[in-house]
């Protein structure tokens, strides 16, 4: 029996990854006079993934990685005015117009009338709280948790905190690595909603996920019907 349904936030309830991709394109354009754009993107991805250990997730971590990548790629010759532009990219990202997926509010309204809902998102506390407030969706969730990482241990810790069992837990999200596989590993259930673009850090080889069983839907509007079938 499903006792608790949790939703991811970024790229599950609202668009997020395109703003990172847009800023990457701006960085490539900024450095294009002397550097190959593919090299810029590859270097940024590598540094960004490495910096998760130090800065976590989110726009602040991303801008620090952009600055570090730019310093490394230019052998320290990047100008102060160019670093200022990079910081400007991050400020623009923090002010973007939050765009919900079609049907999100209707789905949450329907599901919250039957189930306890939890929002589980990872990243910077300030940034995520700001997005949740701007989304207007917070009232649909009985519990809201912002975590540093999504792992089997962190999911178990949250379930223990609120008194739920893994067997009664359903997670819905767009990342196999963060939202789906860790929940299946602890004995929960999951519904995967693929997003059209995926951050390199979230990518998994097909053979890694081949032996896992989970439901997959194309859009969030299909969630109520899938949940009824699962229940």
Confidence of residue 228 (pLDDT cuts 50, 70, 90): very high
Condensed to tens digits (0 to 9), the pLDDT of residues 171-207 reads 999 999 999 999 999 999 999 999 876 655 556 666 7
The domain in which residue 226 lies consists of 4-15+98-230
Q: What is this structure's pTM?
A: 0.91
- Based on the domain organization, do 208 and 175 belong to the same domain? yes
Instruction: Note whether 150 and 193 are same-domain residues.
Output: yes
User: Nearest CA to 129 among 141, 117, 115?
Assistant: 141
Q: What is the pLDDT of residue 203?
A: 60
- The answer to whether residues 161 and 3 touch, using CB atoms and an 8 Å cutoff, is no
Q: What is the pLDDT of residue 198?
A: 65
For 120-129, the pLDDT digits (tens) are 999 999 999 9
CATH number of the CATH domain containing 176: 3.40.50.1000
Please tell me whether residues 115 and 81 are part of one structural domain: no
Last residue of a domain, one of 94, 129, 158: 94
Express each pLDDT in 144-176 by its tens digit. Answer: 999 999 999 999 999 999 999 999 999 999 999
Residues 201, 48: Cα–Cα separation, whole Å: 9
**114 & 83 share domain:** no
Q: At residue 32, does pLDDT exceed 90?
A: no
Give me the pLDDT at residue 96, please.
84
Instruction: Provide mean pLDDT across the span 16-30.
Output: 94
Mean pLDDT of the chain: 93
Are 75 and 112 within one domain? no
Residues 57 and 121 in one domain: no
- In the chain, how many domains are there? 2
Structure tokens belonging to residue 89: 């990219």
Residues 9 and 116 in one domain: yes
């Amino acid at each position: 029996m499903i006792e608790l349904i949790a939703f991811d936030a970024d790229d599950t309830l609202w668009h997020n990854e395109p703003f990172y991709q847009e800023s990457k394109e701006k960085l490539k354009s900024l450095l294009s006079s002397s550097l190959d754009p593919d090299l810029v993107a590859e270097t940024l991805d590598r540094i960004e993934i490495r910096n998760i250990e130090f800065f976590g997730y989110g726009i602040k971590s991303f801008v620090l990685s952009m600055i570090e990548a730019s310093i490394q790629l230019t052998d320290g010759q990047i100008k102060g005015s160019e670093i200022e532009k990079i910081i400007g990219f991050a400020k623009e990202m923090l002010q973007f117009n939050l765009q919900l997926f079609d049907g999100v509010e209707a789905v949450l309204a329907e599901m919250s009338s039957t189930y306890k809902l939890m929002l589980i998102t990872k990243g910077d506390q300030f940034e995520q709280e700001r997005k949740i407030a701007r989304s207007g969706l917070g009232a649909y969730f009985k519990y809201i948790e912002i975590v540093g990482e999504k792992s089997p241990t962190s999911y178990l810790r949250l379930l223990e905190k609120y008194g739920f069992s893994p067997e009664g837990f359903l997670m819905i999200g767009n990342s196999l690595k963060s939202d789906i596989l860790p929940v299946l590993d602890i004995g929960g259930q999951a519904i995967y909603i693929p997003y059209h673009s995926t951050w390199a850090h979230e990518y998994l080889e097909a053979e890694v996920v081949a032996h896992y069983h989970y439901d997959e839907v194309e859009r969030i509007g299909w969630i109520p019907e899938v949940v009824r079938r699962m229940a």
